[in-house]
Structure 1
Amino acid sequence: MSKTEVSHFYLGRVSDHWKYNAFLEEHYGEDDDEPLSAFCGSQDELFIDHDFMEMGARDDGATVAEFFSPYSYSEHWSEAVAKVASECNLTDANVLLFVSKSEIENPKSISGDGFELIYIGEFEYPI
């Protein structure tokens, strides 16, 4: 029996990795009525389980294929994501984030100080 996963994908341009990492940083043990991270809040979620999320930065000089290759199941989604990146003029993106569809109800792009994270859609792939 073949199983599939559907994930929301974001590509971004980051000029200040410190600020971007602070945006993603989770704050446990604080107010339960506040989002776990600024990223969660930007997606109108209180909690996103990071066990269902992957993210990383592009090495200098890496091609798009090289950029995507270390991530889970990339052999199944990288071509489609690269095509959308090209169509959206995001081939210069230097960060990738993807998260299981069940974690975010209404994904959206975010522009912050020193970074932008562009939501490019959901992709289904075998696992």
Structure 2
Amino acid sequence: MRTETCHFWLGKFKTEEDYFDFVGEDQSYYENDDDIEDKYISEFAKSQDENFLDHDFIESGFENEDIPFEEKFLQYSYAEEWIVEAKQRLVPLNQNSEEINTVVFISKNQIKKPVSIMNSKFNLLYIGEIEYEI
């Protein structure tokens, strides 16, 4: 049995554009290698104080359909292994799972000190590490 452990965030973005602005890679990151340590590959990476995140180890999405939480995120990798645990972690945070429209998860070795992010455009709650079978 092989397992993977990832950091997970669940949240609510006002718009899909806000989501893409936050998690999408900044193409200028690759333009000049001289100042690579002063740049961030994305706003998400910046929020986690990581200059670079290998996008081979991250999966995220914006799902704004009015359907149950489990159905919104079932198409993501190994969702059947982590989705119940992810939903349960919202309960102590007093979050309504049906309002969630965004998931982000990344291999745990990519981010040293994961944090939640809240601002006027979105709330993205760090719900911890989840280990699941792959």
TM-score (norm 1): 0.91
Bigger shift: residues 57-66 or 70-79: 57-66
Match of 2:54 in 1: 49
Matches within 5 A, 1:59-98: 59-88=64-93, 89-91=95-97, 92-98=99-105
Q: Report if the CA contact (8 A) 2:65-2:72 is conserved.
A: no
Aligned to 1:125: 132
Cα deviation code 1:9-62 (max 9, x no counterpart): 001111132223112121232441211111111101011111111111224211
Q: Which amino acid aligns with 1:123?
A: I
- Matched residue SS, 1:120: strand
The sequence identity of aligned pairs, in percent, is 39
SS in 2 for 1:19: helix
- Matched residue, 2:118: 111
Amino acid at match of 1:29: Y
Report the Cα distance in structure 1 between the residues aligned to 2:103 and 2:66, rounded to whole angstroms. Answer: 16
> In 2, Cα distance between the equivalents of 1:100 and 1:60?
27
Instruction: Give the length in aligned residue pairs.
Output: 126
Distance 1:101 1:14, change over 3 A: same
Distance 2:120 2:18 in 1: 7
Please say if residues 19 and 62 of structure 2, whose CA atoms lie closer than 8 Å, have aligned partners that are also in contact: no
> Which consecutive unaligned segments of at least 5 residues does structure 1 have?
none
TM-score normalised according to structure 2 size: 0.86
Please list every run of 5 or more consecutive structure 2 residues that lacks an aligned counterpart in the other structure.
none
C-alpha contact (below 8 Å) 1:11/1:90 kept by paired residues: no
CA drift of 1:67 comes to: 1.5
